[in-house]
Amino acid sequence: MAYTQAQLTALRDSYARGILEATLPDGSKVRYRSLDEMQRVIADVESTLGIRAKHTNVTYPSHSRGF
């Protein structure tokens, strides 16, 4: 299936509000069983559209006294 950026935006908006139902730009409605399922679909759509998930790298400082 060919996804669009508008569909991804609708899914993300519903997910951010905690709503399990998304109304897509063409007027159709999709209902998901859980937010986890919705998150997997969002990841699939992002992958299909070639959008990389934004991850933050965390670096923890360390120190040694040299003993």
Q: Is residue 54 within 8 Å of residue 42, measured between CB atoms?
A: no
Residue type, 17: R
- Specify the number of domains making up the chain: 1
Structure confidence at residue 17 as a pLDDT band (50, 70, 90): very high
Task: Report yes or no on 10 lying in a domain.
Answer: yes
Backbone dihedral angles phi then psi of residue 16, each to the nearest 5 degrees: -65, -30
Please give the average per-residue pLDDT across 32-54, as a whole number: 89
Task: Report yes or no on 29 lying in a domain.
Answer: yes
Task: Report yes or no on 32 lying in a domain.
Answer: yes
Task: Report yes or no on 55 lying in a domain.
Answer: no
Predicted pLDDT of residue 66: 72
